[in-house]
Amino acid sequence: MAPQLEIADLTIHFGGVRALDGASFQVNSGITTGLIGPNGAGKTTLFNCVSGLIPGAAGLVKFRGRNISGDRPEAITRAGLIRSFQLARGCENMTVFEHLMLYGPRQRGEGLVQAFLGGRRLRDEEEALRQDALDMARRLRLSHVLDNLVTHLSGGQKKLLEIGRVLLAKPSMILLDEPMAGVNPTLVQEIADHLAQIRDSGISIVLIEHEMELIERLCDEVIVMANGRFLTRGTFAEVAANRDVQESYLGVRRQ
């Protein structure tokens, strides 16, 4: 099976700092892949470059066989590769429901001509999107806060909303940047259950996470980065037993 995401020699500098130094690896479809490494390894920078948020990286990124290097974020999102953010803020003047409605794909009513001439078909599409948003709120247990401004949500609820808006964009792969960070233990387990369900639905996940128990529980495969480069890959047990990983990530010194 061809890899779903291919990254080759991805390199980017910020002043004198080489944040990515020829990172190269592939991600297979239909599984959850953990992306781990020490702070400063380049994990979030890699997500930013792959998703088009930071332009100008050297190297190659291919998604589902198509070169997306240099594409704008909205084009990459339309292709089905969508990322979340570690700090899930949202638009402060919008409600939870409005956020969920915002991320439905290909909303023709956003065009001026279609808004005036779309007629019944446009109304049907908007009603379908509305139903999708309500269904997503129920799925993520956010129905009771639908009318709340995003600024009134807890940290865990914001993370759930971030997952909801990603799913409503109809992805085939999602890049999740620490979706459990700052979340209370009860919601951590709830979010973990949602991620397992997403993977079981056939959507591929690449997950940055520092809690190794969650990586072990959720991930079919683990990729390790260090110093802006690919270090190794394998099952959680394989990478945990790797001496290079223990030295660079876990702080274990060679004897």
Q: What is the pLDDT of residue 248?
A: 75
d(CA 178, CA 167): 16
**Residue 5 and residue 18: Cα distance in Å, rounded?**
23
Tens-digit pLDDT profile for residues 72-121: 999 999 999 999 887 776 778 889 998 888 876 655 544 444 544 455 67
What is the C-alpha separation between 61 and 12, in angstroms, rounded? 13
Tell me the domain boundaries of the chain. Answer: 5-90+156-248
Consecutive 10-residue averages of pLDDT for the chain (255 residues): 91 92 96 94 95 94 96 93 82 87 62 50 79 91 92 87 89 93 84 91 94 92 95 95 82 55
- pLDDT tens-digit profile of 48-77? 999 999 999 999 999 999 999 999 999 999
Q: Which residues contact 201 (CB under 8 A, 6 or more apart)?
A: none
Please say whether the structural domain 5-90+156-248 has been given the CATH code 3.40.630.30: no
The b-or-e profile of 98-124 (16+ CB within 10 A means b, else e) is bbbbbbbeeeeeeeeeeeeebeeebee
Rounded CA gap, 70 and 193, in Å? 34
CB atoms within 10 A of CB 17: 10
